[in-house]
Amino acid sequence: DAMVIQNPRYQVTQFGKPVTLSCSQTLNHNVMYWYQQKSSQAPKLLFHYYDKDFNNEADTPDNFQSRRPNTSFCFLDIRSPGLGDAAMYLCATSRENADTQYFGPGTRLTVL
Amino acid sequence: KNEVEQSPQNLTAQEGEFITINCSYSVGISALHWLQQHPGGGIVSLFMLSSGKKKHGRLIATINIQEKHSSLHITASHPRDSAVYICAVTPGNQFYFGTGTSLTVIP
């Protein structure tokens, strides 16, 4: 039944140690989004893909990269996590741009 | 300045009360979204609307495009409605989020 799946749900990494978060979808949606959400704040869009076209938000740090090898999967790579990168990372999909988004449960990242 | 402003930031209500959450935005949009986030939980999309009014169960969302304003109403509120309600707008391909309204419904 799950439509947008994120793995792992909880991730602990060390300062500076690369980490990859995973998102998969069974909806066959064209658009996949990655958001960062810190405590008591609204989600912040990092980037999104329309199919294979990558769209980076202007203020997303270079430390954050993404890959979408196929329609179903999208990865968020954090090359050198800092303490300030500790947050909930949400993946979402939509059929088309600006359509209703379907969110995954999120991955909570802790940086030690 | 935020493109999307929500009010109130925090709201406490007694079970059964009628609740209104407001959202104002400053950009031209193709659609406005209302989202719900339970504590520690993922986000669920409640409504996407570009005009008029939509109803789903006890939830009603309205939008006034001319005034750049939307409201989310909850009738006969229940403790399970306790969550953060987020307004988001889409001008084109971007998503601008409000900071959310934290609702607590007390039995």
pLDDT tens-digit readout, B28-73: 898 999 999 988 778 999 999 999 999 999 999 999 999 999 999 9
- In this prediction, residue B11 carries a pLDDT of 97
What is the per-residue pLDDT across B4-18, written as a single tens digit (0 to 9) for each?
A: 999 999 999 999 999
Q: Is A81 on the interface with B (CB under 8 A)?
A: no
- The chain-wide mean pLDDT, for chain B, equals 93
Contact call for residues B60 and B54 (beta carbons, < 8 A): yes
- B42 interfacial to chain A (CB closer than 8 Å): yes
Q: Which residue has the tokens 């978060």?
A: A21
Shortest Cα–Cα distance, A62 to chain B (Å): 20
A104 vs B: CB within 8 A: yes
For position A39, what pLDDT does the model report?
86
Residue A10: pLDDT above 80?
A: yes
**Minimal-distance CA residue of chain B relative to A5:** B42
Enumerate residues 6+ apart whose C-beta is below 8 A from B7: B21, B22, B24, B101
> What's the pLDDT band for A87 if we cut at 50, 70, 90?
very high
The answer, yes or no, to whether residue B103 has pLDDT greater than 80, is yes
Q: Which two tokens stand for residue A54?
A: 């990558």
H/E element, B78: none
Range in A37-41, A67-71, A82-86 with the lowest mean pLDDT: A37-41
Mean pLDDT of chain A, nearest integer: 93
Q: Do B94 and A33 touch (CB under 8 A)?
A: no
pLDDT of A2 reads 66
The proportion of chain A whose per-residue pLDDT surpasses 90, expressed as a percent, equals: 84
pLDDT at B92: 76
pLDDT confidence of residue A1: 65
Contact A50 B93 (CB under 8 A): yes
